Amino acid sequence: MRIWKSFGLAFLFITACKPTQSEDANASSNDTQVKIENRDAQIPPQKGPLDSLNQVILAEPNNLEAFSERGRLFLRAGNQQNAWLDFQRAFNIDSMYPPLLLPLGDLYMQRNQSRKARNAWTNCATSDPQSIDCRLNLVKLHASVQDYKPALKYVDEIIAIDEYFAPAYLYKGIIIRDSRKDTSLALQYFQKATEVDQEYLEALDLMGVTLASRGDTLARFYYERILAIQPKNADIYYKLGVHYMDLDEINRAIEAYTKATQIDPNHADSFYNLGYIFTTTVKDYREALNYYAQSIKADPERNYKAYFGRGYAYEMLGDVQKAEADYRKTLALLPIHKPAKDGLDRLKQ
């Protein structure tokens, strides 16, 4: 909506007293340049890329490439204010310069201005038909808000630009999985990503997780490929343990969870699942208490499951007082936890 229309003739009088839009733009550009010059005078001498760029900008005050690159370096260092000043200056020189628009979109995202980020990356993709990075950011942005049609468009453009760019196949699989609920076709794209890049951990992980959710024993193969690359990845040992539990291979599950806790002594979920196994399958309640206690130690503020499991183990061992305390702690963390309420009811009988 253009607000000036509602002011009628009064608007004509006001605009006659104000500078033109062109004059405003020039004033804004001049203000930005003054801010940059004042800022640059205060920047201490530095060695490395920033120092070189400072020298270039002092010698060439309209060097588009230098302003864009220095802004990118400022942004990477977490200095949003200086990055913004450099991006403004570069934008005033050429608002469609792709090496500017890519990090400018990143800055907008850091400021939670996703619409401006989308516009920057869209202009980047329009200006540079070969830009993969701008298109990949657009794929992620559109997919994150379930706007799958443009996400699929951009991911197909990336594949047309470079058919060996593995992340494009990964994200195409994710889009198909989420938009069409077609995990079989999604798996084909995840697999393609792992073929293009055999050490693409995110794709290997998604293959493992997706296959495991279908009860497919091939999931183990992909988890083990990750562990061959990252042998100290506790989360993958945990996922492997969950997979073995689903297949009712309890001994292998215990081995995987134990390995996860050896790598990461604060892996609360692995300790909890060990406690669960020793409660429900092995029925060694004292050993289960040990695992639940370590899970609680690793995550005492949110771990309602471990408090409940420990309470149940205490109940099975006849320690009513400690069982009641843990059931109440479970309800303090999650008031709607019905099994804990049922446990308290049993203790009253």
**What is the full DSSP assignment across 74-115?**
HHHTT-HHHHHHHHHHHHHH-TT-HHHHHHHHHHHHHTT-HH
Q: Is residue 11 part of a domain?
A: no
Are residues 349 and 313 part of one domain? yes
CA atoms of 272 and 75, how far apart (whole Å): 41
CA atoms of 271 and 289, how far apart (whole Å): 10
The band of 38, judged by pLDDT with boundaries at 50, 70 and 90, is low
Are residues 77 and 59 part of one domain? yes
**What pLDDT sits at residue 49?**
86
Determine which of 46-55, 81-90, 306-315 has the lowest per-residue pLDDT on average. Answer: 46-55
Are residues 245 and 219 part of one domain? yes
Residue 228 pLDDT greater than 50, yes or no: yes
Q: Is residue 289 part of a domain?
A: yes
Q: Which domain holds residue 320?
A: 267-349
Are residues 140 and 120 part of one domain? no
**What pLDDT sits at residue 26?**
44
**What pLDDT sits at residue 107?**
98
Residue 42 pLDDT greater than 90, yes or no: no
- Give 175-227 pLDDT, tens digit per residue: 999 999 999 999 999 999 999 999 999 999 999 999 999 999 999 999 999 99
Are residues 220 and 189 part of one domain? no
Chosen domain end from 108, 128, 148: 128
Q: Is residue 191 part of a domain?
A: yes
Chosen domain end from 78, 94, 128: 128
Are residues 275 and 256 part of one domain? no
The band of 349, judged by pLDDT with boundaries at 50, 70 and 90, is confident
**What pLDDT sits at residue 173?**
98
Q: Is residue 271 part of a domain?
A: yes
The band of 48, judged by pLDDT with boundaries at 50, 70 and 90, is confident
- CB 292, CB 268: distance < 8 Å: no
Handedness of CA 4, 9, 11, 15 (dihedral sign): positive
Are residues 331 and 280 part of one domain? yes
Are residues 346 and 308 part of one domain? yes
The band of 7, judged by pLDDT with boundaries at 50, 70 and 90, is very low
The residue-averaged pLDDT of 4-19 equals 29
Are residues 282 and 347 part of one domain? yes
Q: How many Cβ atoms sit within 10 Å of the Cβ of residue 349?
A: 4
Are residues 152 and 123 part of one domain? no
CA atoms of 90 and 68, how far apart (whole Å): 6
Q: What token pair was written down for 178? A: 């989420």
How many structural domains comprise the chain? Answer: 4
Residue 288 pLDDT greater than 50, yes or no: yes
Report yes or no on whether pTM surpasses 0.85. Answer: no
Are residues 271 and 341 part of one domain? yes
Supply the CATH number for residue 74's domain. 1.25.40.10
**Cα atoms in the Cβ-side hemisphere of radius 13 Å centred on 133:** 11
Q: Is residue 41 part of a domain?
A: no
Are residues 89 and 139 part of one domain? no
CA distances for 245 relative to 40, 224, 320, angstroms: 61, 16, 30
Q: Is residue 170 part of a domain?
A: yes
The residue-averaged pLDDT of 282-293 equals 98
